[in-house]
Amino acid sequence: MRRATGTIHVFTFKTGLLAAAAHDLRLRFDGFTCHLQDQTVTVVVPLNALRVDGPVRGGVVRTDEYDAARRAEIEGATRREVLRADHFPTARFTGQALRTAAGYDVRGTLTLAGREAPLAFSVAEHGAEYRAVFELKPSRWGIAPYSAALGTIRVQDRVRIELALKAMPD
């Protein structure tokens, strides 16, 4: 069995009448497990490991823009109101990783917020690191887009996931 460690970045995108007053965000999960045995891959993400990196403007993450209190406010609201981590503390992906010339084609099932839906993506090999970029539609898992200010500021029903994994020594 091979294990991997790394980072899962989640990008959210604003929309709505007052979207200019809001920010796109980059969130991250560090404390997850990833195992590959033969072709079976299993990833378990504790949702309380969610952290806010900061707002994104012009494609740049502004890590210094939010203080600890603002980060904690966003993290808490995302865990409670969006992910419902008190009822569903983990996200879990189980599937098959088929080797390709460039890395892996991965297909399986993502369990999130108590619901299952299929998920497929490609993982590219970059030296000792494996990377993937793909989008999810949270409503497939029953997650309603977050909104504020009576719905004039909303998060789009799409998030971009960026994975960066390194195999751990056996």
What pLDDT is attached to residue 39? 92
* Strand, coil or helix: 67: coil
Q: What is the token pair recorded at 31?
A: 């404390």
What pLDDT is attached to residue 43? 96
Q: What is the token pair recorded at 136?
A: 């999810």
- Comparing 146 with 16, which gets the higher pLDDT? 146
pLDDT tens per residue, range 36-94:
888 999 999 999 999 999 999 888 899 998 999 999 988 998 999 889 999 999 999 99
CB 161 within 8 A of CB 10: yes
What pLDDT is attached to residue 32? 93
What pLDDT is attached to residue 61? 93
CB 130 within 8 A of CB 102: no
Task: Say if residue 138's pLDDT is above 70.
Answer: yes
- Comparing 168 with 29, which gets the higher pLDDT? 29
Task: Say if residue 152's pLDDT is above 60.
Answer: no
Number of Cβ within a 10 Å radius of residue 41: 22
What pLDDT is attached to residue 68? 94
By residue range, what is the domain housing residue 23? 2-167
CB 52 within 8 A of CB 27: yes
Domain count, the chain: 1
pLDDT tens per residue, range 54-66:
999 888 899 998 9
Query: What's the CATH code of the domain at 157?
Result: 2.40.128.110
- Return the percentage of the chain with pLDDT > 70, whole number: 90
Q: Any alpha helices (H) in the chain, and if so which ranges?
A: 68-77
The end-to-end CA distance of the chain, in Å, is: 8
Residues 6+ apart with CB under 8 A from 142: 113, 114, 115
Mean pLDDT of 125-137: 92
Question: Taking the model in full, what pTM does it have?
Answer: 0.88
To 10 degrees, the CA torsion angle through 4, 9, 51, 89?
A: -60
